[in-house]
Amino acid sequence: MLNLNKNLLITSVIAASLMLTGCSEPQAKQEEKKEAEYAIPVTVASIERGNVSSNFHTTATLESRNEADIITRVTGIVEQLTVEEGDFVEKGQVLAKIDPRRYQLALDKANAELAGIEQELQRLSQMAEKQLVSAQASDKLKYQYQAAQAARELAALDLKDSQIVAPISGYISKRYVKAGHFTQGYQKLFHIVDQSSLQAVVYLPEHQLGNIELEQAATMHFTARKGQTFAAQVRSISPIVDSRSGTFKVILSLENDNLQLKPGMFAQIALTFDTHENTLTIPSDAIITLDNQSKVYLVKDNKAVEVLIDKGYVQEQLTEVSGELAEGDMVVINGHHNLKADSLVEVLNAEPSLDEVLSDDEVSTDKKTAIAKNH
């Protein structure tokens, strides 16, 4: 009987041990799973409200709206140059002088011939009153007088043209001749550009005809003027579409009163078609697009929350979004490709809370006190 009781006791102890072991295994596995879970490092940005525009991006080269090739109408030796490349000149300013002696002599000759014909015409007029000459002879002399007047005016014009003057105000961009060179009629001597008013010619695809209108706003950026944005507007729209390229011509104008820009500079242009004001915007890098579906991850209570969104206008690095979002929400912009819903995250660029700041101050104060005591 005693042996039977001992066997029952041993059996009971073994059964209890097995039951305790079976209960502790799930708990141990759960603890191991908790220990295996770790936070994924991410960086975040705040969702903000702002204005976002729909832009058409293109490029063009700046041109001067007012420029001119300066030519000579007369032939001769260049006696004097009064300007050099880069000089600013006013309209009507003398730029060069061509040897005027030949043209001065031609004018003197024309004046003398005109004076002789004028004197003869007066004498015939007196004789005509007395009916001593025929009307035909008198009319012929009148025609000669008119021809002599025209010849004198041409000679005077040639003499005037021996002085080369600026037809517009601007800068001398090119000089084609030197003093002592022989010039022939209609030869180019200078090129003048007005830098104060510039333009850019762009060619837009046919389907954009409904999005463009006169005085529409545009912005320009230049490599040589980094960080600066220049405003422009549509000055003219071509009434035809090029059938070969399927594009139409648009001219943009911009003021350049401070002369920061130069003709020939390469411009990156954004034509503004429409603007949505006071709309939710996020950095474009925060968006993940798969199978035509876009989503972002928000950070709430140190966990990733997956939110489906609809995209709107995109302007530079910002995208207009709509969905279950609110201004001020923190959206993941780096590390989101490693996330899934409810993932534990660690925000690397989070601002410290007030409690953390106070705690750090207390630790710093304790350290300073300990150092003071040691000294």
pLDDT tens for each residue of 59-74:
999 999 999 999 999 9
| Cβ neighbours around 53 below 10 Å, total | 19
Q: What is the pLDDT of residue 23?
A: 47
pLDDT tier at 27 (50, 70, 90 boundaries)? Answer: low
Domains for the chain: give ranges and CATH numbers: 55-63+194-275 (2.40.30.170), 69-190 (2.40.50.100)
Asked if residue 78 has pLDDT above 70, the reply is yes
pLDDT tier at 35 (50, 70, 90 boundaries)? Answer: very low
Asked if residue 34 has pLDDT above 80, the reply is no
Q: What is the pLDDT of residue 329?
A: 93
Report the chain's mean pLDDT, rounded to a whole number: 84
Q: Dig out the tokens for 188 from the structure.
A: 């180019």
Q: What is the pLDDT of residue 362?
A: 52
Q: What is the pLDDT of residue 334?
A: 92
pLDDT average, residue stretch 210-218: 92
| Cβ neighbours around 65 below 10 Å, total | 17
pLDDT tier at 87 (50, 70, 90 boundaries)? Answer: very high
Length of the chain: 375
pLDDT average, residue stretch 310-324: 90
Asked if residue 13 has pLDDT above 70, the reply is no
Q: Dig out the tokens for 38 from the structure.
A: 């770790």
Asked if residue 364 has pLDDT above 60, the reply is no
Considering only CA atoms, give the Rg of the chain. Answer: 45
Residue 222 DSSP SS3: strand
Q: What is the pTM of this model?
A: 0.64
Distances (CA, A) of 23 to 35, 179, 250: 19, 109, 80
Asked if residue 352 has pLDDT above 70, the reply is no
Neighbouring residues of 315: CB distance < 8 A, sequence distance ≥ 6: 52, 53, 54, 55
249-261 pLDDT, tens per residue?
999 999 998 999 9
Asked if residue 14 has pLDDT above 60, the reply is no
pLDDT tier at 135 (50, 70, 90 boundaries)? Answer: low
Q: What is the pLDDT of residue 70?
A: 95
d(CA 369, CA 355): 21
Q: Dig out the tokens for 210 from the structure.
A: 């409904």
Q: What is the pLDDT of residue 2?
A: 41
d(CA 106, CA 218): 56
Asked if residue 132 has pLDDT above 70, the reply is no
